[in-house]
Amino acid sequence: MIEWSGVFHVMATPFTDGGDLHTDGLPRLVEAALATGISGVTLLGIAGEAHRLTDEERRRVVDGVVKEVRGRVPVVVGVSASGTHLATSFTRVAQEHGADGLMVAPPTGLKNLDAVAEYYRAVAAAAAVPLVLQDEPVTTQVTMPAAFMVRLCEEIPAIEAVKIEEAPTLPKITRLREILSRRVAIFGGLGGVYFFEELSRGADGAMTGFPYPEALKAIRDHFVAGRRDEARALFYRWLPLIRYESQPGSTPGTAIGIRKEILRRRGWINSSRVRPPAPALDAGTTDELDEILRAVRG
């Protein structure tokens, strides 16, 4: 049984400078993340460049991470896809290689919510592990109102958590807490940009790839211990980097490139390579990143 709370770190996918999957780099990345005290690991999300991996590469990532984690924390695997059969195929592969849970976003561009519901029912029917309902309208172009998400949670018991990434996230968290008829964990995403306020609204944690997960953990630790002022102060300290790293409104590749550059500087990965057609970081971005890191780390 998964304890759905705390910080579930969304892992980047390591590549070589040439753009090949760096499978041998997975153990170091896993151990570095686990050393920060995270509650879980999430693979093959948007930040993991899942849409740029072959099926065989996806399998190798899941297999490599699960073997390195060795049951120390839950491993949640993204199985979102453009079609139902593809999502159920990803579901089977993830489970065969030891996934403890599955994260599922709607198929991109699917506006018919009844069809979205049927997609989730099909994935749940293929799943033997819990699901995370990912609400991410920027990438998927699918808006799921709170009432619809509650309907899915009521119809599909396998959904044990939701990840809210429709800005503004805060009213939606409040609405979900008001109308959910059973306990479903709520996580924020979006790089943690609203994390303190999300905790105040009743979120259980964050599911994001922010490259200093120990900072998010410390913020939540203060918050749940009743040290609200300390939690807020720490959040405000890190907010410049959270804001800059998430790059609201930019192409996903830019934010991922900044994130991977930070991970490279931390020694978690060898290369900050993001697969094309994502642009490389320009000199101005790296200079700005230098300045922000000096400021937030003291």
pLDDT tens-digit map of 189-243: 999 999 999 999 999 999 999 999 999 999 999 999 999 999 999 999 999 999 9
**Cα gap 162→150, rounded to integer Å:** 10
Q: What is the chain's pLDDT, residue by residue, as a tens digit (298 residues)?
A: 899 999 999 999 999 999 999 999 999 999 999 999 999 999 999 899 999 999 999 999 999 999 999 999 999 999 999 999 999 999 999 999 999 999 999 999 999 999 999 999 999 999 999 999 999 999 999 999 999 999 999 999 999 999 999 999 999 999 999 999 999 999 999 999 999 999 999 999 999 999 999 999 999 999 999 999 999 999 999 999 999 998 765 556 688 999 999 999 999 999 999 999 888 899 999 999 999 999 998 7
Question: What one-character DSSP code corresponds to residue 127?
Answer: -
Instruction: Give the up-direction half-sphere exposure of residue 245: CA atoms within 13 A in the CB hemisphere.
Output: 25
**Cα gap 73→11, rounded to integer Å:** 13
Give the model's pLDDT for residue 4: 98
**Cα gap 166→213, rounded to integer Å:** 21
**Cα gap 201→185, rounded to integer Å:** 12
Question: What one-character DSSP code corresponds to residue 159?
Answer: E
**Cα gap 95→245, rounded to integer Å:** 32
Domain ranges of the chain: 6-239
Given 3-state DSSP classes, what are the helix, strand and coil percentages for the chain, each rounded to the nearest 5? Answer: 50, 15, 35
Give the model's pLDDT for residue 248: 64
3-class state of residue 75 by DSSP: strand
Assess if CATH 3.50.50.60 describes domain 6-239. no
CA distances from 200 to 134, 143, 145, 188, 219 (A): 20, 24, 21, 12, 12
**Cα gap 253→51, rounded to integer Å:** 12
3-class state of residue 133 by DSSP: strand
